Amino acid sequence: MFDWKWEFAWEILPRLVTATGNTLLAAGAGYAIALVLGLALAIAQRSPYRGLTFVVREFVEFIRSTPLLLQIFFIFYVGPQFGIRLSPWMSGMIAIGLHYSCYLSEVYRGGIDSVPKGQWEAAIALNMTTVQKYRRVIIPQAIPSALSGMGNYLVGIFKDTPMLSVIGVAELIHTANAIGSEHYRFLEPFTMVGIIFLAISLPAAGLIRLVEGRVRRKLGLK
């Protein structure tokens, strides 16, 4: 019943390693988009322009309330009807980046809200511009309390990359499935994929905690 074949496992390893690279690339690119866009969304929600605040808030709610899978399908299959033709890779990274930017914007928002009102007032008293206030005073203090949330979503994005297999991105699950169909053996590829995910997620979580502590110390916070 349990016939694990080392030879087969060894043979498919190179393909899985390549796929791991793709998975990491998709997760990294998606995360980079989410980090930047999320911050923009968080700041936009605090702008004095009511219209902008309203639109952004509704957008974030909409994205957070619909499945990532739907968003991936929408961008890839419905996009062309509006003249937006993107490769599976591009569609996937944009979908993941967009989806997680909305979650990250909430993390940032919590971090920004945790900065005391007096800090804003001190920034005004020094006659700072809005950009200076955020860049020099607010964001450096918001990031430490947002770090654990940011780290969680990095691992979250990594674990959500298999969804890109549905539009044919050759990440880990997609590759493992292809290998299984070719050789009629699923035990080795899927087990190995599980181990690869675990081997990356666990150290990543530890690393995030390490970075968190270091950033806090560097900023002179407890």
Partner 1 sequence: MLDMSGFPTELSGENTPMVSFRKVRKSYGALTVLDDLDLDINAGEMVSIIGPSGSGKTTVLRMLMTLEQINSGVIYVDGQPLTHMPKGGKLVPANERHLRSRRADIGMCFQHFNLFPHMTALENCMEGPVQVLGLSKAEARDRSEELLELVGMIAKKDQHPSRLSGGQQQRVAIARALAMRPKVMLFDEVTSALDPEVIGEVTNVIRGLVSEHNLTMLMVTHQMGFARDISDRVCFFYGGKIEEQGHPSELFGNPQRERTQQFLSAVREAV
Residues making contact with partner 1 (CB under 8 A): 116, 118-119, 121-122, 124-130, 132, 136-137, 140-141, 219-222
Smallest distance from partner 1 to CB 46, Å: 15
- Alpha-carbon distance of 40 to 55, in angstroms, equals 13
Smallest distance from partner 1 to CB 125, Å: 4
Closest CB to partner 1 among residues 129, 191: 129
Closest CB to partner 1 among residues 1, 131: 131
Neighbours of 105 (CB within 10 A): 26
Smallest distance from partner 1 to CB 93, Å: 33
Range list of H helices, 126-186? 130-132, 139-160, 172-183
Which residues touch 160 (CB under 8 Å, ≥6 apart)?
Answer: 68, 96
For residue 28, give the nearest of 79, 87, 92 by alpha carbon.
92
Closest CB to partner 1 among residues 1, 125: 125
Q: What DSSP assignment string belongs to 82-118?
A: GT----HHHHHHHHHHHHHHHHHHHHHHHHHHTS-HH
CA angle 33, 36, 41 (to 5 degrees): 110
Smallest distance from partner 1 to CB 122, Å: 4
Smallest distance from partner 1 to CB 220, Å: 3
Closest CB to partner 1 among residues 128, 196: 128
Closest CB to partner 1 among residues 14, 118: 118
